[in-house]
A = this chain, B = another copy of it.
Amino acid sequence: MKKEINCTKLNGERITESKDKVVIEEPLSIFVNGRHFVTTMISPQMKKEFVIGHLFSEGIIRDVEELESLQIEESIANVIISSPLKVLTARKLIVSGCGGGTSFLDESKLPEVSSDLKIDAYEVFEAVKSISGSDLHRITGGVHVVGLFDKESRICISEDIGRHNALDKVIGYGLTENIDFEDTFVACTGRISSEMALKCSVANIPVVASRGATTSLAIEIAEKTGLCIIGFVRGERMNVYTNRGRIITPNFVQIPPHRPISSSRGHAVRIRKQGLLDHPYRKNLLSLAFYRSLRHLCFSIRLRSCRKEKRFSAVLKARPFLSGTPPLR
């Protein structure tokens, strides 16, 4: 269910080359009576139950008796059912949280991100922070927020019940406004799954950052397309999973990992311990507290100075994009 992958962890102003566990995402194609019915992205457990449950809840079978055979080999499920006409009635419907229809899983068809963009880690912190305070999210608890940014300001923010819908909306806005995506990056609140990575790659957006996690397939895709994926952007922390070169960290201190890491929580504790070993006043706890306060102060000052340079002045303005949609050009 999970896979250990390399990543670069930024915490405060320290950088550690480390490992993190991400959830496994795999495609599963269901063929009913020899005909392709659907391809879904799932976690690779309980595949048989998934196929039966999916065919049942989509109305293809009414009970297990209608299944004449079911064979699953890696990413292919072959199903023979007794009422072959039913599959013909299935419509293509993409539900909330979906992008759907992308056919780039064939490696040779993967797009390549062509961009020289490099962004400051503080810009990423600031961007993710600025989209996290959505009123709608606070009141209903039921939406995802995606923002499109460039190095100067925020270009567009959209809120939607589906992550991919929200991403499609900012991409659509960028297209109608003739935005050059190679100079932009995306910040979002939801998980960066394979189709989020694909959509960014197709649009030639070089960086995607999120408060949430990412998946194994998203990382594989990003490594091939050149997309930079950043997960768990929270407070002073972030994990850079791919294409670390796009993130500038001039004031950050590299800290070598001291021992193998077993879990992300355990790792966080160890990072603190390593900090204790590495920082200049390690002799007593009082100076540790002092050191930490100082570090936090430095971080806040830099974040503020980043704002003062007006690179993010527009971020703090009102949101014109949510109330109306601009005319199509």
Contacts and interface: CB of A to CB of B under 8 A. Distances in A.
Nearest to A212: B141
Nearest to A178: B64
Contacts of A154: none
B54 A168 contact: yes
A139 B175 contact: no
A124 to B, nearest CB: 18
Q: Which 4 pairs from chain A and chain B are nearest by CB?
A: A53-B172, A49-B172, A97-B97, A142-B213
Most buried by B among A43, A53, A160, A191: A53
Given A64-B176, A165-B43, A176-B49, A100 B98 contact: yes
Nearest to A329: B64
A51 B49 CA distance: 34
A162 interface: yes
Nearest to A137: B23
A1 B167 CA distance: 17
A136 interface: yes
Given A103-B91, A136-B23, A140-B22, A96 B175 contact: no
A195 B96 contact: yes
Could you tell me the dominant secondary structure of chain A's interface residues?
mixed
Interface in A75-107: 89-104
Interface residues of A, number: 94
A290 interface: no
Contacts of A95: 40-41, 98-100, 102, 164, 193-195
A232 interface: yes
A171 interface: yes
A125 to B, nearest CB: 18
A138 B90 contact: no
A245 B140 CA distance: 24
B89 A142 contact: no
A297 interface: no
A170 interface: yes
A65 B211 CA distance: 35
Interface string A199-221: 10011000000001111000000
A159 B1 contact: yes
A308 interface: no
A253 interface: no
Given A36-B92, A93-B39, A328-B70, A172 B51 contact: yes
A318 interface: no
A251 interface: no
Contacts of A92: 36-39, 92, 100-101
Contacts of A140: 1-2, 21-23, 213, 264
A264 B160 contact: no
A67 B328 CA distance: 10
Contact of A48 (B93, B160, B172, B193): B172
A59 interface: yes
Nearest to A196: B95
B56 A171 contact: yes
